[in-house]
Amino acid sequence: MADTGTPVVFIHGLWLHATSWTPWIDHFRAAGYAPVAPGWPNEPGTVEEAREHPEAVADIGIDDATDHYASIIAGLDAPPVVVGHSFGGLITEKLLGQGIGRAGVAIDPAQIKGVLPLPLAQLRAGLPALGNPANLHRSVSLTEKEFRFGFGNALSDEESAELFRRWTIPSPARPLFQAAAANFVLHSQAKVDTHRADRGPLLLVSGTADHTVPDVVTRSTLKQYRDSTAVTELKQFEGRGHSLTIDSGWRDVADAVLGWLREHGV
């Protein structure tokens, strides 16, 4: 594995900056991969700059972000493993469904078209954006209390507050509106080709205490792939919330992903 240098593209979700993947990048590089974590379209290079310029990412939609990452992947020397969290997980699924990428890992992936469960906790976690229709064309920031509910509910108050301070940025609200309306829109941008048989393997990862993408949503996502003969698997982390890629237990998740990739020869 140390000699393969397989590219890995990390895709973050809403309200986190691309640099939140830094520990994963170091960990995957040590395991012999060639990882990168590009930001979303127009995303400033640092957390501080992103907070100073929330307008930079306003009105970015799912397809905008997906096309952005597809373009980045097209410039790589080899098909990468794509690892996404939250809306980054949905984008990972879309890319794999388009035949882009060698394998995909969707961690707490935002719900795709066809997924019906909508738990109350998920509705509450989305309210900072969805609560005001005018936010469709805006970027939205979370308060520390909102971050605590949506991301840090399985953590101590202190750890949640530290993660909020370190990684949170304003994010476009449009993807949340698109996902929320997906089952009522014919050509929804949240639609994924779940039937494709010639794609790479896909791992869905769920935290059973997640409020933003509850475990039942991820399990329902898995069922959407039932007609595909391609490898699609689910790994659940008991008692973990939406922060599982950035909190003190991130290495357990990263090691599980590395182990799964090795199992599938990637």
Q: What is the pLDDT of residues 157-170, one digit of tens each?
A: 999 999 999 999 99
- At 3, the pLDDT band (50, 70, 90 cuts) reads very low
Is the CA virtual torsion 168, 174, 177, 179 positive or negative?
Answer: negative
Residue pLDDT, tens place only, 68-110? 999 999 999 999 999 999 999 999 999 999 999 999 999 999 9
Q: Looking at residue 1, what is its pLDDT?
A: 38
Q: Looking at residue 116, what is its pLDDT?
A: 84
CB-based contacts of 89-94 (< 8 A; 24+ apart in sequence): 89/11, 89/13, 89/204, 89/213, 90/62, 90/175, 90/179, 90/190, 90/192, 91/11, 91/62, 91/65, 91/66, 92/11, 93/192, 93/194, 93/202, 93/221, 94/62, 94/66, 94/192
Which one is predicted more confidently, 126 or 255? 255
Residue pLDDT, tens place only, 118-145? 776 777 777 788 888 889 999 999 999 9
* Residue 252, pLDDT above cutoff 50: yes
Q: Looking at residue 148, what is its pLDDT?
A: 97
Packing angle between helix 250-263 and helix 22-30, nearest 10 degrees?
40
Q: Looking at residue 15, what is its pLDDT?
A: 96
Q: Looking at residue 4, what is its pLDDT?
A: 63
Mean pLDDT, rounded, of the chain:
95
* Residue 203, pLDDT above cutoff 60: yes
